Amino acid sequence: MENNIQKRHDIIIAGIGGTGSMIIGQILASAGVSVYKNALWNPSMTTARRGAPADCTVILSDEEIGSPLLLRVKNTIMTESSRLKAFENRVLPNGTIILESSGLKEEVGRDDVTVVKVPGVEIAAKVGSALARNMVLLGAFIEKVKAIPAENIEAEITKRFSIKEEILSLNLNAFREGIKLIENGEYS
């Protein structure tokens, strides 16, 4: 394992509808297996209906994972800005909030966390479909937090979407655009 990767990362990924949040959580956990001794993906969907709040917890750890249930975490990825107030206080001090900026009506009310506002919908639309915003946010998270090497995430994206070249290309390009956004410091 690379020296710059911490021994544990706890992440909550929150959205609406669930598919995008769940997919990037699964990709993160699956890629984590190649880097950490333990990786866990724990989905939580309030109701099985389209448009309902949904989130998942991903734990990547070299130590044994005691519980899949966490009240507070170091990192969150919010694929839907309306979930901000529900999860803002679950981020530990000095943690990171990766936040979809499209439709953002409220600001983070804390100054002890790093907030990365990502125009994921806009960027994903430019690469082919606004539906790929989750991959833009995943790319931003990977570049900002460095929990897993980007190559490992790209390998998981390829494995998951290799059946349809157009979908694979869209997701890889959206992921790479999220990385570039952080590399170039083009977020607020």
pTM of the model: 0.92
- Domain boundaries of the chain, sorted by first residue: 8-183
Q: For each of the chain's 188 residues, which pLDDT tens digit applies?
A: 444 556 999 999 999 877 889 999 999 999 999 999 999 999 986 655 666 788 999 999 999 998 888 889 999 999 999 889 989 999 999 999 999 999 899 889 999 999 999 999 999 999 999 999 999 999 999 999 999 999 999 999 999 999 999 999 999 999 999 999 999 998 76
**DSSP element (H, E) containing 173:** helix 165-183
Return the CATH superfamily for domain 8-183: Pyruvate-ferredoxin oxidoreductase, PFOR, domain III (3.40.920.10)
pLDDT of residue 1: 40
